[in-house]
Chains A and B, each alone.
Chain A
């Protein structure tokens, strides 16, 4: 790969870092300026991510990946950043969600505390780094950057609920980091390498004693990633945290669980794929059963929850369960359907999280939602009524947007949720069916059913039995992100064909691990004289 192009891989990490640093210097009084800088940088990130996706997918590069050698050290020794289709896809997803969450935060939430914008950019840096890195220890570093920023964002708009949730969230994640480090140490002790591609090359040739150590290390690493992706029984932190955080932050947290799934997906295929010798398929059984239990847990939790924050949380748990179980089933055919579901469910749950905050205003029409937070964070100078254009027909918008969210989350036709579930079903039925596949299908239907029940109950209660018929005041900047996310979902349903084509190629990349391994290890250092 030509070195000029692979330089752009470092930009999705550098851009948020620099923006975050610049935003620290801008005084909190210039809220408008901070917001504009942040939004511009996030928009630029989206453009960059789309460009990367086009480059990695485009015919110009063939099947090449972009490999960036940091400080010009070649692969197993130095730090590499690797951009392939899967990574670019996640970059686009992250940037899209970030733009929507940020836009939503403009009129109220960003003003609730200090350094929101800086933390937001650092979170993006962590996410992008974790997605792009090709090295286990850097994955740890970027995970910590991402988590440290998420601790700060969770506590943003400081109140007792958030502090209580934050204490648990931080402890759980610190312990998960301990496991992450233990896993890294064991993997290094077993193989003497930390580079993803190099490890994938070494694993088929390991001696039995070392293989055992490697498996132990991988299992301990999995504890860390599965805690992030909220697999039962490691995911009890999720509902409390999600319902405590402010809506734009929760939308970003929804993405964080998917980053956990991303790492599991990548490492599972790279290290324990078909070419891994006697390690092939290691851990799949655990992922499958864990995924099924998560799915069941999410479905039961969803049925029991009345509060919108909890409905969103358990929907995220269900989506994690489906994804992990599908990885565990280990059928390459279902991969593209799984990725489709991942995109659709992430966007829909994020849209739902943002929407519920607006729906709650039917009951509390004034700015009293913020009262609890305002109490602990003195904002005397600010005027109460937030800026922005008020949109007409607020109730109609809320109702329609809620219906769209519900259709996608429950997987009913005609929106993208249905296509996702249908293609999972369709692809799965073409593979040899085991008892566990049938259990998975059954749970998939049950989860859909509980989602319908739970969402309908919430909808009926919010819209049809509303005590105050007064229509809430909604700002344009709050409505447009929800609308945008839903539009993306609708377009995913309309352009399902081309998107599936792209996802097929992503899945193919994942399965053909030799391409990844060869290209990362064979990338040569840049000649200093430029000859």
Chain B
């Protein structure tokens, strides 16, 4: 289980880094999305991997923490998803503005001869 999650996060992050370094702004935004997925997964598993365990209980008699998943990373990851989503959407708007004004989707806002 750990291996699968670690590999998934690693591959997502590596693909994200590669895409962010590409010259087209669409590739960059896809890369940013992959990076934020990887990070969200990473935050999620910092609460340790637990299967079929509720994060909260209303039963005040059974309070053994081992029976429950850590609720904090779940709360953090929700916030991180919302914020990441909003800022990426904001970048998308700037990207479209840039495409409209400069007529190219190159990240520098101008085309170079040497690009693919």
A152-B87 Cα distance, complex, nearest whole Å:
11
Q: Is the interface of A mostly helix, strand, loop or mixed?
A: helix
User: Helix, strand, loop or mixed for chain B's interface?
Assistant: helix
- Closest A residue to B70 by beta carbon equals A192
Name the residue of chain B whose CB is nearest to the CB of A190. Answer: B46
**Contacting residue for A181 out of B80, B86, B95, B101, CB 8 A:** B80
**A144, A159, A181, A182, most chain B CB atoms within 10 A:** A181
Q: Does A524 contact B (CB under 8 A)?
A: no
Nearest-Cβ distance from residue B87 to partner chain A, whole angstroms: 6
Q: Which residues of chain B have a CB within 8 Å of any CB of chain A?
A: 20, 25, 28, 32, 35-36, 39-40, 42-43, 46, 72-73, 76, 79-80, 83-84, 86-88, 90-91, 94-95, 97-98, 101-102, 107-109
Taking CB atoms, residues of chain A closer than 8 Å to B87 are: 144, 147-148, 151, 170, 174, 177
* Chain A residues, Cβ within 8 Å of B97: 155, 158, 163
- Distance A189 CA – B84 CA, assembled complex (angstroms): 21
CA distance A181 to B102 in the complex (A): 33
Q: How far is the CB of B31 from chain A (nearest CB, A)?
A: 9
Q: Which residues of A contact B107 (CB under 8 A)?
A: 167-168, 171
Judge whether B90 and A185 touch: CB under 8 Å.
Answer: no
Which A residues have a C-beta under 8 Å from some C-beta of B? 137, 140-141, 144, 147-148, 151-152, 155, 158-160, 163-164, 166-168, 170-171, 174-175, 177-178, 181-182, 184-186, 188-189, 194, 376
Question: Which of A144, A171, A188 makes the CB contact (< 8 A) with B91?
Answer: A171
Interfacial chain A residues near B42, Cβ < 8 Å: 181-182, 185
Shortest C-beta distance, A514 to chain B (Å), equals 26
- B36's closest neighbor in chain A, by CB? A178
> Which residues on A sit within 8 Å (CB–CB) of B102?
160, 163-164
What residues on B are CB-neighbors of A152 within 8 Å?
Answer: 90
* Bound complex: CA A148 to CA B93 (Å): 13
Closest to B99 in A: A163
Cα of A530 to Cα of B10 in the assembled complex, Å: 53
18 contacts between A and B (CB under 8 A): A137-B79, A151-B94, A152-B90, A160-B101, A163-B94, A163-B101, A170-B91, A171-B28, A171-B32, A174-B87, A175-B20, A178-B36, A181-B40, A181-B80, A188-B46, A188-B72, A188-B73, A194-B72
Q: A182 vs B42: C-alpha distance in the bound complex, in angstroms?
A: 7
* B98 pairs with A185, CB closer than 8 A: no
* Of A137, A151, A167, the contact of B98 (CB 8 Å cutoff): A167
Complex CA distance for A113 and B26, rounded to whole angstroms: 26
In the complex, the answer to whether A171 meets B101 with C-beta atoms within 8 Å is: no
* Smallest CB separation, B110 vs chain A (Å): 8
Chain A proximity of B59: nearest CB distance (Å): 20
B82 CB, min distance to chain A CBs, angstroms: 10
Contacting residues, chain B, for A166 (C-beta < 8 A): 94, 98
Q: A163-B98, A164-B98, A181-B80 are in contact. Are A189 and B32 (CB under 8 A)?
A: no
- Is B94 a contact partner of A175 (Cβ separation < 8 A)? no
Give the residues in chain A near B72, CB-CB below 8 Å: 188, 194
